[in-house]
């Protein structure tokens, strides 16, 4: 289905609803992907009675690809519009990578409306680049280099990132699937989302989260170091950190079975 999030801009939403009493998990993907990255959750969770709702962030996948609107605030606003339109209540908000940062911003900007629990998966938190209060990210120079590569040769960059994304060799077909998802996005949208990740942070948002929070992170993450997850856990009162010993940044794919089990346990706890 498609939902208009502002005048002239619609986003694609997948809603796998196995029944009226299903617990809802609302999925927010990361750069440079779309809702299909959660295929290995969608294959399983509805069988256990979970409603899985996922949106393609504007500029990505099947959503509209406007020139503007890629700040954390605007992307959080899009989440709010979709939750309101679907009349979702007491959902688990699950944000992956940059989607994790956007979900954190949503929780502070909207005071957690519609959400009963938060799941952060390899989240870009507290920041993508190193800064006071968040020393474990990439350097500003490295981040600017990634943006320059997107301007020059996006397919090559996506191929390079795909090798860093997974901790183990999942085969050529999986890497090609990753790259294809990236190429289904607008290149300018990927640039603008990366620019937002470089400029913004969620350091001041973390202390405003008031719902039970699970932080799921691969210890071999080359893009968002595990130490960032530890720092995030320290900043969200009462949150719990779940580590995954055989995962890099692509946890929902690298260790799908283990992740699904721990996610379901967290949701039901």
Which percentage of the chain shows pLDDT scores above 70?
A: 100
Asked if 63 is an active-site residue, the reply is no
Distance, in Å, from the CA atom of 210 to the CA atom of 22, rounded to the nearest integer, reads: 23
The question of whether 97 is a catalytic residue gets the answer yes
Nearest to 72 by CA among 26, 124, 25: 124
Average pLDDT, the chain: 96
Residue 263 has pLDDT above 90, yes or no: yes
Q: Looking at residue 132, which CATH number applies to its domain?
A: 3.40.50.1820
Of 80-89, 95-104, 132-141, give the lowest mean pLDDT range.
132-141
Q: Look at the chain and report how many structural domains it folds into.
A: 1
Do 38 and 65 contact (CB within 8 A), yes or no?
no
Q: Which of 29, 77, 78, 97 is catalytic?
A: 97
Cα separation, 263 vs 164, whole angstroms: 24
The whole-angstrom separation of Cα 105 and Cα 123 is 12
249 as an active site residue: the answer is yes
pLDDT at 131: 93
Q: Which of 29, 205, 221, 239 is catalytic?
A: 221
Residue 85 structural domain: 2-268
User: 105-135 b/e with 16+ CB inside 10 Å = b?
Assistant: bbbbbbebebbebbbbbbbbbbbbbeeeebe
Distance CA 27, CA 24 (A): 10
Distances (CA, A) of 23 to 45, 99, 183: 10, 21, 33
Answer yes or no: is pLDDT of 134 > 90: yes
Q: Read off the pLDDT of residues 156-197 as tens digits, 9 standing for 90 and up.
A: 999 999 998 987 778 899 999 999 999 999 999 999 999 999
């Amino acid at each position: 289905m498609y939902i208009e999030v502002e005048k002239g801009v619609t986003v694609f939403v997948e809603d796998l609803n196995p029944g009226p009493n299903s617990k809802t998990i609302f999925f927010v993907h990361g750069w440079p992907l779309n809702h299909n990255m959660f295929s290995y959750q969608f294959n399983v969770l509805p069988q256990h009675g979970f409603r899985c709702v996922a949106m393609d962030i504007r500029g990505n996948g099947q959503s509209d690809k406007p020139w503007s609107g890629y700040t954390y605030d605007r992307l959080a606003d899009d989440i709010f519009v979709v939750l309101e339109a679907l009349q979702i209540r007491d959902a688990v908000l699950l944000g992956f990578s940059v989607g994790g940062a956007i979900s954190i911003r949503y929780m502070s900007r909207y005071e957690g409306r519609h959400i009963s629990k938060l799941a952060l998966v390899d989240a870009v938190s507290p920041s993508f680049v190193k800064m006071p209060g968040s020393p474990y990210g990439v350097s500003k120079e490295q981040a600017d280099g990634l943006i320059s590569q997107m301007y020059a040769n996006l397919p090559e960059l996506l191929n390079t990132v795909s090798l860093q994304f997974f901790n183990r060799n999942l085969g050529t077909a999986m890497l090609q699937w990753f790259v294809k998802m990236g190429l289904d996005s607008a290149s300018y949208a990927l640039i603008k989302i990366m620019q937002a990740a470089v400029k913004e942070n969620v350091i001041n948002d973390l202390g405003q989260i008031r719902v039970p929070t699970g932080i799921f992170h691969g210890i071999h993450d080359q893009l968002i170091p595990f130490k960032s997850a530890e720092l995030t856990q320290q900043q969200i009162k009462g949150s719990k950190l779940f580590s995954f010993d055989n995962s890099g940044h692509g946890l929902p794919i690298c260790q799908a079975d283990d992740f699904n089990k721990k996610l379901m346990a967290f949701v039901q706890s």
